[in-house]
Amino acid sequence: MKTALIILAAGKGTRMNSDLPKVLHKVAQAPLLEHAMASAAGLEPAHTVVVAGHGLDLVRAATNEFDETAVVVEQTEQLGTAHAAQQARGALAGFDGAALVLFGDTPFLSAGTLQKMVDALATHEVVVLGFEPADTKRYGRLVMQGDTLERIVEHKDATDEERAITLCNGGVTACRAPLLFDLISQIGDDNASGEYYLTDVVALARARGMSATAVICDEAETLGVNSRADLAAADALFQSRARAALIEDGVTLTAPDTVYLSRDTVIGRDTVIEPNVVFGPGATVETGATIRAFSHLEGCHVSRGAIIGPYARLRPGTELAEDVRVGNFVEIKNAQIAAGAKVNHLSYIGDATIGKKANIGAGTITCNYDGVMKHRTQIGANAFIGSNTMLVAPVSIGDGALTGSGSVITSDVEPDALALARAPQVEKPGMARKLFEMLKAKKAKAQRGS
Ligand code: UD1
Ligand code: MG
């Protein structure tokens, strides 16, 4: 059965105490909304509709950054979850597959659980996600008769007896789209909150003699974020699971608790990650690489056998081929470095292409920015860049060329040439001794005078 996602994300998230809409706060460097979309991506949804209200434009931008085919619809007033889901009706006109309504602030749902819900639609008209929380807090309670879900009662509206029910609503509802919108159109707001409750679809379906049930998942899957404390807890949970998954996949983390990962971090087998390494968004590392302590990687690709750090910073657009070496206090941005090249100490390489087995000496800087525009530096295969060379871009160094230490290179260097661009050395015999004697005499005179 084809599926469509309706992701509710119009709420302000008052308890975040923030100008940013709640669903754009990040866990593992990715907005909560992106996590929700990514969890459901495994279902290969035919449509994704995000219902936004607070921070509409920002939510639209984040939605389309992750999935440019997703549609964002506006809910101008937050009148409840049923009213929010109803806003997706126009976007799903003519779609008669399964609609899954989920919340944008619930980052850890698994595709497997969502698939189970879709599968359950083969025998039930409405399927709701249920879970048994350690603390039932203010969750809606699932009123079951055997396997049949009779209705959902919101905490505020529940009797003491209903509040004693431990099975709660995890917030995901599955139903064929035409039926969902039909049921929603019957929902009223006569309840303790004066809101249109999506949860009322269950009792309405049962009143029509239709079947409803619950699919049960772990509490961790339904974890919702409502405050900064929840956000930090969600990040911590993400990190511990992602680290465990990497270890399981054959990556060595020498001090797992100190490694920070992003939602989309990819690391290959037999790679070693030393302590205190941070992966920002968009980092991929192939098999058999070593990322040494205190390195920071984002938007970069590291190929097999490369050794990075300690204390290296790889910024977006960095592509390192096999067996590249990047040493301590080296920053690389938007640069492609070919196999076996080395940038081992204290360098900045930005907007550059470096050829195979080139050796970039300590303190080399690509001067890529003239204050207005960025320019590229090309360095050929087997070139040897002497320590403390300033490469003033745009500039190109030929294959096998050599630059003398301390050179300021402003024009292109031919292959195999030696370029020296520094003041010639001047030597004055005996002058150092004379100078020191003069200075000492001056100091002694000053001390006598005081
Ligand atoms: C909801 C469920 C409750 C369940 C709980 C699980 C209802 C009526 N109740 O309650 O049974 O146990 O989630 O966490 O559905 N939203 C909109 N527009 C609105 C209202 C809400 O987009 O007008 C969005 C919010 O941004 C949020 C989501 O819907 O992402 C859920 O709304 P929220 O107010 O948090 O519902 P709960 O009271 O937690
Ligand atoms: Mg909530």
Using the CB atoms, write b or e for 293-308: b if 16+ within 10 Å: bbbbbbbbbbbbbbbb
Residues near 424 by beta carbon (within 8 Å), at least 6 away in sequence: none
- Tell me which H or E stretch contains 319: strand 318-320
Q: In testing the pocket of ligand 1, which one of 76, 87, 103, 163 has its CB within 8 Å of the most ligand atoms?
A: 103
Pick the ligand that lies closest to the CA of residue 155: 1
pLDDT for 449 equals 87
Per-residue pLDDT, averaged over 383-388, amounts to 98
pLDDT at 378: 98
Q: What is the distance between the alpha carbons of residues 389 and 285, in angstroms, rounded to a whole number?
A: 29
Report residue 106 CA to chain centroid gap: 16
Q: What is the pLDDT of residues 357-379, one digit of tens each?
A: 999 999 999 999 999 999 999 99
Nearest atom in ligand 1 to the alpha carbon of residue 79 is 23
Q: Quote the pLDDT of residue 450.
A: 72
- Give the nearest ligand 1 atom to 22 CA: 26
Nearest-angstrom CA–CA distance, 286 and 110: 26
Q: How far is the CA of 73 from the centre of ligand 2 (A)?
A: 20
Q: Determine how β-strand 377-379 pairs with β-strand 384-385.
A: unpaired
Kindly give the distance from the C-alpha atom of residue 9 to the centroid of ligand 1, in angstroms, as a whole number. 9
pLDDT digit string (tens) for 94-143?
999 999 999 999 999 999 999 999 999 999 999 999 999 999 989 999 99
Q: Cα separation of 75 and 65, whole Å?
A: 21
For CATH 3.90.550.10, the residue range(s) in the chain are 3-222
114 lines ligand 1 (CB under 6 A): no
Nearest to 317, CA basis, from 334, 301, 305: 334
Task: Supply the mean pLDDT for the chain.
Answer: 97
Q: Indicate the Cα dihedral angle 288, 292, 293, 295, nearest 10°.
A: -100
59 lines ligand 1 (CB under 6 A): no
Q: Find the 81 Cα to ligand 1 centroid distance in Å.
A: 6
Asked if the model's pLDDT at residue 52 lies above 80, the reply is yes
CA angle 277, 281, 282 (to 5 degrees): 105
* Ligand 1 binding pocket includes 139 (Cβ within 6 Å): yes
Pocket flag, ligand 1, residue 226 (CB < 6 Å): no
- What is the structure's pLDDT at 12? 84
What is each CA distance from 7 to 36, 53, 188, in whole angstroms? 8, 12, 21
CA angle, residues 326, 331, 336, in degrees to nearest 5: 65
- How far apart are the CA of 167 and the centre of ligand 2, in A? 16
> What local confidence, expressed as pLDDT, does residue 407 receive?
98
Alpha-carbon torsion angle 105, 111, 116, 121, nearest 10: 70
Looking at residue 38, its pLDDT comes to 95
Q: Which residues belong to the active site?
A: 345
Distances (CA, A) of 353 to 120, 324, 358, 366: 54, 13, 11, 11
Whole-Å CA distances, 14 to 21, 137, 167, 227: 9, 18, 27, 8
For the Cβ of 107 lying below 6 angstroms from any atom of ligand 1, the answer is no
Q: What is the pLDDT of residue 195?
A: 97
Residue among 155, 161, 127 nearest 141 (CA): 155
Ligand 1 center to 6 CA (angstroms):
13
Q: Cis peptide leading into 394, omega within 30 of 0?
A: yes
Q: Among the atoms of ligand 1, which is closest to the Cα of residue 196?
A: 8
Ligand 1 neighbourhood includes 80 CB (under 6 angstroms): yes
CATH number of 228-419: 2.160.10.10
How confident is the model over 189-217, as pLDDT tens digits? Answer: 999 999 999 999 999 999 999 999 999 99
Q: Calculate what percentage of the chain has a pLDDT beyond 70.
A: 100
Residues of the chain with CATH 2.160.10.10: 228-419
Cβ-based neighbours of 37, under 8 Å, separated by 6 or more: 5, 7, 48, 50, 63, 66, 67, 70
Buried b vs exposed e over 72-86: b needs ≥16 C-beta within 10 Å? bbebeebebbbbbbb
3-class SS string, 28-66: CCEEHHHHHHHHHHCCCCCEEEEEEECEHHHHHHHHHHH
Beta-strand relationship, 30-31 and 26-27: antiparallel
Query: Looking at the domain 3-222, which fold is it?
Result: Spore Coat Polysaccharide Biosynthesis Protein SpsA; Chain A (3.90.550)
Write down the pLDDT at residue 147.
97
At residue 310, φ and ψ (nearest 5 deg) are: -65, 160
Tell me the average pLDDT across 324-344.
98
| Kind and range of the H or E run holding 408 | strand 408-409
pLDDT greater than 80 at residue 183: yes
**How is residue 152 written in tokens?**
């959902």
